[in-house]
Structure 1
Amino acid sequence: MPTPRQNAIKKLAADNRPLPAGELFSTRFYQPEDGPGVARLFYAVYGDGYPIDTFYLPEQLTEENRAGRIRSAVAVTGSGDVVSHEALYRSSAPNPGLFEFGLGLTLPSYRGTLAFARCSQLLMTLPGSEGIDAFFGEAVCNHTTTQKLTRQTGAAEMALEPALMPARAYETEQSAQGRVSCLMAFKVVQDHQRQLCIPENYRKQLTFLLEGCTLDRELITSYTSLPSSPAILESALFPEAGVARCSITAAGDDLADRLRALESDLRDKQYALLQCFVPLDRAWAGPVVDLMRQERFFLGGFLPVWFGGDGLLMQKLFVDPGFEEMQLHSERSARIRELVQDDWKRTQHGGG
Structure 2
Amino acid sequence: MDSRLKSSSDTMNRTFEVHLLRSEDAEGVCRLFRSIYGEGYPIKIFYDPERLITANKEGDYYTSVAKSTDGEVIGIHNFFRSAPSRDVYEWGVGLVLKEWRGMGVSGAIERYMIEEVVPELSMHTVFGEPVTHHLQMQKHSESFGFPPTALEVGLMPGEAYKGEGVKSERVSTTMGFRVYRNIHQKIFVTADYKEAIDFLYEGFSSGRTFAESTDPLPSGTHSRTRMELFDFAKVARITFYETGSDFSDRISGLESEAVGKGYIVIQVWLKLTEPWIGNVVKILQRRSFFLGGILPQWFDDDGLLMQKLLFTPDFDSIKLYSDRSMRIRDLVKSDWQRLCG
TM-score by length of 1: 0.87
The 5 A counterparts of 1:177-326 are 177-228=168-219, 229-326=221-318
- 1:100 is matched with 90
Aligned 1:3-42 pairs, distance under 5 A: 24-42=15-33
Q: Which amino acid aligns with 1:26?
A: E
| 2:326 aligned with 1:334 | yes
Aligned pairs, number? 328
CA RMSD of aligned residues (A): 2.0
What is the DSSP-based 3-state SS (H/G/I as helix, E as strand, rest coil) of the residue aligned with 2:118?
coil
8 A contact 2:87–2:123 mirrored in 1: yes
Give ranges in structure 2 of 5+ residues lacking alignment: 1-11
| Distance in structure 1 (CA, Å) of the matches to 2:216 and 2:48 | 48
The alpha-carbon deviation at position 22 of structure 1 amounts to 9.6
Which piece of structure 1 moves more, 76-85 or 203-212?
76-85
Residue in 2 aligned with 1:111?
Answer: 101
> SS at the partner of 1:140?
coil
Contact 2:183 2:300 in 1 (8 A): no
Offset at residue 57 of structure 1 (A): 1.1
The residue correspondences of 1:70-85 to structure 2 (distance < 5 A) are 70-85=61-76
CA contact (8 A) 2:76 2:109 kept: yes
Runs of 4+ with deviation above 6 angstroms? none
Q: Deviations over 1:154-212 (max 9, x none)?
A: 11110001111233422355555432211100011112321111111111001011113
User: Quick check: 1:126–1:132 contact (8 Å CA) kept in 2?
Assistant: no
Please give the secondary structure, in 2, of the residue aligned with 1:76.
strand
Structure with the higher fraction of residues in strand conformation = 2
- Alignment counterpart, residue 111 of structure 2, candidates 101, 116, 121: 121
The one-letter amino acid of 2:52's match is: L
Relative distance call for 1:78 and 1:238 in structure 2 (3 A) is same
Q: Secondary structure at the match of 1:206?
A: helix
Q: How many Å apart are 1:34 and its aligned residue? A: 1.7
Deviation at 1:224, TM superposition (A): 3.4
User: Structure 2 CA distance, aligned partners of 1:115 and 1:131?
Assistant: 25
Q: CA deviation at 1:221?
A: 4.5
Q: Note the residue ranges of structure 1 that are not aligned, 5 or more in a row.
A: 1-20
Identical positions, percent: 37
Partners in 2 of 1:289 and 1:59 — Cα distance? 43
Tell me which amino acid in the other structure corresponds to 2:232: E
Aligned residue type for 2:22: Q
> Distance between the aligned counterparts of 2:84 and 2:319, measured in 1?
30
Separation in 2, partners of 1:97, 1:179: 30
Out of 30, 33, 48, the position equivalent to 1:57 is 48
Give me the TM-score of the superposition, normalised by structure 2. Answer: 0.90
| SS of 2:189 mapped into structure 1 | coil
Deviations 1:257-288 (A, max 9, x none): 22222222222222121110110111121111
Distance 1:49 1:162, change over 3 A: farther
